[in-house]
Amino acid sequence: MKVEALKQRLDRNRPMTSVTIRMPEDVVEDLKRVAPLLGFSGYQPLIRAYIGQGLRVDLERFEGETVTALVASLKRRGVSDSVIEEALSEVAHATSN
């Protein structure tokens, strides 16, 4: 994830919107029971955390697949492995700063 996007995700004051979702009552009761045990103020923040975790996993997977497809495309166009590795290393170094 890009640094700027990560900063926005960590902003506690970012805009929120209401979403209505139907869930089984027993699941909501379990969420209410588990939330304080995990340090959440209520079940809704716990739901947001669960959704955020799953979303980050999927985003990473899709972004990884995009990079893999890009590398394969570059190789098909004759770009050498050393040039690709150098570029990937450069990007990894730049995003870690």
Average pLDDT of the residues in 49-67:
87
pLDDT at 79 over 60: yes
**Residue partners of 9: CB distance under 8 A and separation at least 6:** 1
Q: Report in angstroms the alpha-carbon separations of 92 from 30, 58, 68, 84, 87.
A: 41, 20, 14, 12, 9
- pLDDT band with cut points at 50, 70 and 90 for residue 2: low
pLDDT at 1 over 70: no
- pLDDT band with cut points at 50, 70 and 90 for residue 54: very high
pLDDT in tens, 5-44: 666 766 778 888 999 999 999 999 999 999 999 999 999 9
